């Protein structure tokens, strides 16, 4: 058993290492594109390019964060941080979300000015820069192909990049339209669209991060569902004082009290094993603290514990 575990660890570490290498490359690439888009946006006077740059800025932030989270998840727990550093990922996501909401606000503000009096935009420069951005994004998406289903962390970073690729396509089309028609109003329209995409993504990230920081139950494992699963096990009379929370996006923790029937055929140890097996199979909860009690506990019948706030 132990031997297999070590082998798995070795494989896992190799994978973590490769993943970190991919992140380093992707971060450098997005920072390079960010520089080009900011300079290009200023030179061509295109707000759409600048809003795409904001998008790229968000990509590099989310890539840096995901990378940080992967690095921190390999660090051991300490006596003052008994869970290790998993929560850092969630904090970073919160900061990322809030900063993006602010940036998209700024873009909307600028766009309104341009609607009132459209400014000329140099479409050729706009086109070239947008195409560079698009190619870089597709390269990153291809690089992380197949990694994103493993963790919310990587998935959120990749979704950012995909959103950004779409935004780049918008800017390319806009550049072509402006080149042929000189409708400079296309520029602020595009930047509002891109800004809206950023805003929706940022809102979602912020909401998820806040839910985890408030110790919310994971979506697929709320207390009622998990309690029903445990109660269905033979010999269990009652489940109470249950807490389920996420440490980070993919690390669930549960603690609960389980009252057993007077005529229980199983030993507490066997029962605990059975409950753990069910929780792992159905909800992916691997970290549990289960207190087995004889019937007649004062809190019986209440699934949740309402502790007063001292």
pTM of the prediction? 0.74
pLDDT at 307: 65
**CB distance 160 to 201 below 8 Å:** yes
Per-residue pLDDT tens over the stretch 98-143: 888 888 898 899 999 999 988 899 999 999 999 999 999 999 999 9
* Structure confidence at residue 78 as a pLDDT band (50, 70, 90): confident
The superfamily CATH assigns to domain 223-294 is Cation efflux protein, cytoplasmic domain (3.30.70.1350)
Instruction: In whole angstroms, give the CA distance from residue 178 to residue 127.
Output: 10
To which H or E segment does residue 241 belong?
strand 236-248
CATH code: domain 2-213 is: 1.20.1510.10
Q: What percent of the chain has pLDDT over 90?
A: 31
- What does the mean pLDDT of the chain come to? 85
pLDDT at 8: 56
Instruction: In whole angstroms, give the CA distance from residue 179 to residue 188.
Output: 15
pLDDT at 138: 95
Domains of the chain, by residue range, sit at 2-213, 223-294
Q: Dihedrals φ, ψ of 184, to 5°?
A: -70, -15
Give the Å distances, CA to CA, from 150 to 15, 50, 235, 290.
12, 32, 36, 28
* Structure confidence at residue 4 as a pLDDT band (50, 70, 90): very low
């Amino acid at each position: 058993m132990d031997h297999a575990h070590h082998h798995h660890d070795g494989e896992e570490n190799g994978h973590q290492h490769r993943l970190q290498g991919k992140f380093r490359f992707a971060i450098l690439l997005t920072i390079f594109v960010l520089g080009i888009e900011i300079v290009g946006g200023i030179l061509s006077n295109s707000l759409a390019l600048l809003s795409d740059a904001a998008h790229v800025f968000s990509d590099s932030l989310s890539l840096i964060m995901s990378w940080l989270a992967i690095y921190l998840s390999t660090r051991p727990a300490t006596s003052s941080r008994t869970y290790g550093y998993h929560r850092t990922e969630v904090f970073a996501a919160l900061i990322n979300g809030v900063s993006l909401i602010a940036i998209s606000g700024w873009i909307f503000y600028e766009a309104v000015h341009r609607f009132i009096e459209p400014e000329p935009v140099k479409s050729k420069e706009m086109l070239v820069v947008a195409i560079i951005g698009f190619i870089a994004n597709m390269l990153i998406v291809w690089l992380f192909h197949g990694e994103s289903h493993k963790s919310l962390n990587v998935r959120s970073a990749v979704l950012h990049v995909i959103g950004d690729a779409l935004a780049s396509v918008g800017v390319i089309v806009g550049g072509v339209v402006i080149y042929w028609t000189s409708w400079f109003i296309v520029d602020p329209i595009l930047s509002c669209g891109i800004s809206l995409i950023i805003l929706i993504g940022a809102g979602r990230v912020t909401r998820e991060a806040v839910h985890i920081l408030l110790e919310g139950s994971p979506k697929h494992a709320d207390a009622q569902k998990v309690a029903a699963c445990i109660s269905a096990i033979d010999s269990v009379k009652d489940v109470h004082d249950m807490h389920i929370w996420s440490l980070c996006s993919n690390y669930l923790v549960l603690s609960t009290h389980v009252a057993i029937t007077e005529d229980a055929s199983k030993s507490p140890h066997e029962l605990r094993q059975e409950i753990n097996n069910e929780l792992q199979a159905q909800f992916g909860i691997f970290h549990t603290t289960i207190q087995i009690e004889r019937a007649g506990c004062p809190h019986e019948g209440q699934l949740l514990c309402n502790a007063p706030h001292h």
